[in-house]
Structure 1
C-alpha cells in the first residue's frame, strides 16, 4: 500500500472535522471525546465508556451512526440476557420446511452495549468473535455483520452490585477506553434550553456514506510510521511489562492498537506521517484498561494513569534521543 499523500491527508482532516462537528450538535461540549470515538471507529476498533448514567452515551452512538449514514442498535445488558438475544437465533419455518436465521441486534453499524458488565460472562463472550472478526457463528453457520462495524460498550463505575467484571481477554478487545463526563456549565445551559428536543441526533444529516467511511479507514492505514516511532511504541510496551506496579503489561495486540490509532490521529490532524506526540496523546485511552496492576501496589494507591505517566517520563521519545 502506498503512503498517503499530503493532499489526501488534508482531505481526511477536513472530512474528519466535519463528522466531529456534526456529532457535536447532539453531544454538546465534548469534541475531545467525539474525536477519540471517531478515531476508534476509523481504526476499526471498539470503544468502552466507563461513565455514570445520563452523560450522553446513547446520544454519541446515535449521532455517530447518523453522521455516517449507518444503522445503530442499543442492547440493554441484564443478568438474564442470553447470547442468542445478542447474536440472533435460528428458527424452523414450517411453511418453507427449512431453518431461517433471525438476526439479533448485533447486526448494525454501531451497536451500543449498555451496561455490559451486568450480563453473565457467557453473554459477554458472545461479543468476542464479532468484535475480533466482524462475524458471528450460530448453529455452525457464519454470518458477517458488515462494515463499518463498531461496538460502544458502557459500564457504570459506581454501582458494582450484581455485575460481572470484564475479563482481561475481553478488555483487550476494546481499542480504547474513555469517559464522556458531565458537560461544562455553558453546554449544560444550552442543553437545558433545548429540553423540548428529546433526541438531538434525530435531526442530524449524514456527512459521509458508510462505504466512504470504510475508504477513509483504508486511507488512514496508509499513514507513514517511521521505524523510530515503532521502536518507541515497542519500548513503551516492554517497559509496561517490567514496571514494578504492573502484574500484566501491554500485549502485542495493545501495541498494534496504539499504532493503528496513531495513524488515524495523525491523518485527522492533516499529516500523512505519525509523530511521537500522537503516541503520547493516545497512550492513556488505548493502554490504561489493558494494564493489570499488582494488587498490593493498587492498594497503596497506584493507578493505570500514574503508571502510564511514569512510562512516558522513563522512555525517551525519538526526537529526545536524537538531541541527546
Structure 2
C-alpha cells in the first residue's frame, strides 16, 4: 500500500470503534503525521482514551497511559535509577512510561508543575536526562494530554509557555443523537459473549514515516505563506486590523504558532490527497492551532467571548493573499 492508502486504512479502522467523533480521529492522525503532540479537552466519557487506544491497536506501536494525580512525581513519568547491590554497575536506569510510542497523559492539569514540566521536556526535546545521562525517546512518539473542562478546583492549569508546546488544542463535545444510538449498539455488540472480534491488520510504523516524507514535499506558495504570517501577525497586533478585535486580545501567537499552522496545513492538504496548500486547509486547522496560543483580554472574558470567536474574526479581517 502507498502511504496515503495506509493512513486511509488506519482512519477507516479507527472509525469502526470510535463513533460520533470523526473530527477527533482526523486530528489525532494529523498530529501524528505532523510529528507533534496534542492537548485534548472534553467532558468525561467522550472517547478520549478509547481514541488513542484504537490508534495503538491499529498501528504497530506501543501505548502508555499515565493518570495524573497530585501525588505524582517526575520519576513516575521519566523513570529512575535503581540500586543493584550484587552487580558491578551499582545503578541501573529503569525507564518510566514515557518511553513508548504513544503516551496518554490523562488529566494533565491534576499534577503539580514539576511533573508537568517533566512530561513537557520529553515532548520538546525527545529525550530524558537522569543523573547526568541522556536517554532518547522512540522515533515514533506522540503525547495526547487530556483536560476536563469542569471540576477545575484544586488543579494546576498549564502556563501559557507550556501550552505553547502542544501542536494543537482540540475541544470535543457530545455526539449527536444518531451517533449516540450507534455507540450504545456498538457497546452491546462488544459486550456480547458470542461476538467474534474482527482481526485487523496493523499498519506498520514505516507507513507513518513514509507519509511524513511525502508531506515534506507538499507545496506552499509564497501567497499562502504570507497569508499564514498575516493571520499570526493579526493576533499580535490586532489594532492594525480591527479596533474591536484589539480590545479582545491580550497577546497573540508565538512563532511556534506560525510553524504549527504551516505544518498542520500541509498535513491537511496531504490528507485531502492534494500536493499544495489552499486557504481552506489553513482555515480547517487554524482553530486547533491557535486556540491555546491567544490570550483573551479582561474585556473579552467579561463579555463571554471565546477564542474560537476571535479566530473567526481574524479570518474575517485578514484578506487572503491572491
Q: TM-score over 0.5 for the alignment?
A: yes
The match for 1:149 among 118, 136, 141 is 141
Asked whether the equivalents of residues 3 and 208 of structure 2 are also in contact (C-alpha less than 8 Å), the reply is no
| Shift of residue 300, structure 1, vs aligned partner | 2.1
Aligned length: 309
Is residue 73 of structure 2 the alignment partner of residue 82 of structure 1?
Answer: yes
In structure 1, list runs of 5 or more residues that go unmatched: 1-7, 320-324
Output aligned runs, 1:1-324, within 5 Å.
11-98=2-89, 99-196=91-188, 197=190, 205-243=200-238, 244=246, 245-319=248-322
Aligned-residue RMSD, C-alpha: 1.9
**Per the alignment, in what secondary structure is the counterpart of residue 106 of structure 1?**
coil
**Per the alignment, in what secondary structure is the counterpart of residue 90 of structure 1?**
strand
| Shift of residue 190, structure 1, vs aligned partner | 2.3
Q: Which has the higher contact order (CA 8 A, sep 6+)?
A: 1
**Per the alignment, in what secondary structure is the counterpart of residue 194 of structure 1?**
helix
CA distance in structure 2 between the aligned counterparts of 1:46 and 1:24, rounded to whole angstroms: 21
CA distance in structure 1 between the aligned counterparts of 2:312 and 2:174, rounded to whole angstroms: 24
| Shift of residue 132, structure 1, vs aligned partner | 1.0
In structure 2, list runs of 5 or more residues that go unmatched: 239-245
CA distance in structure 2 between the aligned counterparts of 1:204 and 1:52, rounded to whole angstroms: 31
CA distance in structure 1 between the aligned counterparts of 2:105 and 2:283, rounded to whole angstroms: 29
Q: After alignment, is 205-214 or 215-224 more displaced?
A: 205-214
